[in-house]
Every structure is written in C-alpha cells, then in structure tokens.
Amino acid sequence: MNYERAREIVASEETIEVLHGGRPVWIERLNPDGETASVSAGGDTYTVPVEELSESHPG
C-alpha cells in the first residue's frame, strides 16, 4: 500500500479492512517522515512500513 492510500483509509468514515502479513490490523497512527504506520491487532501495537500493508478485498 502506498502512504497516500493509508491516509485515505485513516480519514475514511467507512471501515476498510487492512492486512499486515495476512492478519487484520487497525491503523492507529501514520508517520509521514518514515512512511510507517502504528497498527494494532489482538491487543498488540507495533510499527510497520506502510508498504507492508494491504487492503482486504472480499470476494
């Protein structure tokens, strides 16, 4: 995923499923300097490069 798309997802009123390594995550914060995201899943919060995130596309 590119950084601009991550910004759109965070700003969206819709709930858009985002995956990291096939695991659903919630984007908590974006860091524009390093193009990283703080994400949470299962009670854990960690930082990953935005390029490692992907959107889940049902169907």
- CA 59 vs. chain centroid, Å, equals 20
| pLDDT at res. 57 | 77
| pLDDT at res. 18 | 97
Burial-class residue 37 by CB neighbours within 10 Å (0-12, 13-18, 19+). Answer: buried
Half-sphere exposure of 41 (CA within 13 A, CB side): 17
Judged against a pLDDT cut of 70, whether residue 59 lies above it is answered with no
At 7-55, the pLDDT tens digits run 999 999 999 999 999 999 999 999 999 999 999 999 999 999 999 999 9
Residue-range domain boundaries for the chain: 3-54
Residue 58's pLDDT band (cuts 50, 70, 90): low
Q: Residues with Cβ < 8 Å from 32, sequence gap 6 or more?
A: 3
b (16+ CB within 10 A) / e for 14-30: eeeebbbeeeebebeeb
